[in-house]
Structure 1
Amino acid sequence: MVEKGKIMRILFVGDVMGNTGQEVLEEYLPKLKHLYHPQVTIVNGENATRGRGINEKVYKRILSCGADVVTMGNHTWDNPEITDFIGSAKKLIRPANFSAGQVPGIGYTTIKINQQELAVLNLQGRIFMTPSDDPFAVAKDIITDLRKKTSLIFVDFHAETTSEKAAFAWYFDGQVSAVVGTHTHIQTNDARILPQGTAFLTDVGMTGPYDGIIGMKRQNVIARFLNQMPTRFEVDESGRRNLSACLLEIDNEMGRAKKIKTILINPDHPFMQ
């Protein structure tokens, strides 16, 4: 049993989707922070502006809700405005394996909490995703450097397939504190701690519309399956809402995970204080 003072508690909130996701985050993130008292709060914001990308106004709104770091994913560049501010947005990270040296922004950051330092790393998978550099090779170099400074390393691995996420977590088991997947918008029921101390969750899920299909208006998505005709996907900005997250407890000294707990808030899983 690790003493309470030797634990770092991390709250990670999954893909914020459009205005609905922003509203849910604004309502529930302060409540979750009051309930769990995390030292660090991380939010994935790659769908936060109209479902694709992020702009500066929304980035600042997510920070004002209580986020310490905002991670991204394959929609990083979908909102052109991001190139105007990402260079100065020190709490915004995009996948580190985006064309090394060719794009703006940073792929990881560190946060100092008292005498401890947590590194937060963002990576994107390659299977069924837009082209990127090898996340395994890029991560290996970055993690090797980071471990010279800290054993506390959190990874948001933004990928499509469960196998790629699991392979990444197992490959880096014992070298990072946690690997939590994003992108598929559906929270998985496989939260676990691997043998060498890395917490793993295939996908943390989405924060936004509860009655859409992965956050989009369901009638448009269904139509695509029925007739294969092009259709415009739009965020479902009405109806019921959902927040998906997970809470991690990490041993400050060894950087090993001691606990990972999933969090769902929606009509079928009401918020309980």
Structure 2
Amino acid sequence: MKNLQSTVTLHNGVEMPWFGLGVFKVKEGDEAVSSVRSAIEQGYRSIDTAAIYGNEEGVGQAIKESGVPREELFITTKVWNANQGFETTVAAFEESMKKLGLHYLDLYLIHWPVPAKGKYKETWKALEYLYKAGKIRAIGVSNFQVSHLEDLMADCEVVPMVNQVEYHPRLTQKELHEFCKNNKIQLEAWSPLMQGELLEEPTLAEIGKKYGKSVAQVILRWDLQNEVVTIPKSVKPERMKENADIFDFELTTEEMALINSLNEDRRVGPNPDEFNRE
């Protein structure tokens, strides 16, 4: 992990950047276009969106305007709960591709397991189908717990390459992380800064002071040293620059353990076992 373009190799051989930009709650139109374009200009190569974010067109426009060759970028989007099922997922994928203006996708994720709906296996079959058709370079899931992964893997043909989950020092998901490691599923963090809640945490501030780094930079560095891909969201160019300035220092084993010990199994997002929003 030497710089912003450093990658991890997924279990199918595809290289995914360790660090990227998340665009959750980034408004469609000018805000989406300018923030994604700014990130790409700064050297970001991974952009993470989702159908439900409603900003795929802006992301697509920024990609087009960036002038960076398509093969140098890693673009992720996700199928929303209401579209789970085989045919509906394939249709949702085509819709996302149209909005993004892309011929292929780097990573497609099932956004939530929605266990009450009981359709994630059927949805996964659609992802396998699109993957085998060469339309997606890697497929994965988001917000899947160990139980959902075990259930999916009992009869899937392709093991998910990525599981994107809420992950930060107050929610380290140790058991899930171990399970993913053992099954070569790359863990990816959303809401790595706990939506700003952790920025006043004294332990983190103290560590930051030692390196001349902000609390956000300490957390993002901790993610990477825990071998977790991370995609902090920002619409401000200076914040994007700060977030990415984490490749010139390294946390000690003791500091890593100290940050791990802040875990309280506390979420800012929904519990994946109970979240059923359409």
Q: Into which bin does the TM-score normalised by the smaller protein fall?
A: 0.3 to 0.5
The structure whose residues are more often strand, as a share, is: 1
TM-score, normalised to structure 1's length?
A: 0.47
The structure whose residues are more often helix, as a share, is: 2
TM-score, normalised to structure 2's length?
A: 0.46
